[in-house]
Amino acid sequence: MRFCGNHWQQLQDAIAERGLSSLVADSGEQAVRNMASEIKEGSTIDNFDPLMGAHNFIWSGAMSIASTRYNANPLMMMAEDPEHPEWQCPICFLNWLHAEHDKVCTKEGCDYPKGFTYDEEAISLAADQMLMEWRKLGGNT
């Protein structure tokens, strides 16, 4: 479960734009400790990691959108398929699903906008959600 380099950088930039970079774990080990603490104790100012929170928010949303909007198996994102490396990034996966829909849809008045991508929507929504979560915890930016 990983993002492509481009979307990961965009997500990091969005977190930085909201003034939350200083809250991001310094290492993968610290991120795991923060997540374990969050599961055990709930979110606190001390274990809040906006980058991992945004990561999980996007994955959760992508799984839901894949299954409900595109009737696709969201577990495809966990497959190591050399012919579909885009399946491993949740945003690339949604973009691929939408492009596939664009190719085959013949429904009159289809409300799926042609050429749509999830890049901006997913990243902005997740980063905004993390800023709201931080403020709920009493944090200031």
Q: What's the pLDDT tens digit per position in 88-97?
A: 899 999 999 9
- Count CA atoms closer than 13 A to 54's CA, side-chain side: 34
Q: Is the pLDDT of residue 86 over 80?
A: no
pLDDT at 114: 87
DSSP 87: G
* Domain extent listing, the chain: 5-136
- Averaged pLDDT, 70-85: 83
Q: Is the pLDDT of residue 141 over 70?
A: no
| Cα 85–chain centre separation | 17
Quick one: CA dihedral 109, 113, 115, 117, positive or negative?
negative
- Contact status, residue 80 vs residue 88, Cβ threshold 8 Å: yes
pLDDT at 97: 94
E strand or H helix at 128, and its extent? helix 119-136
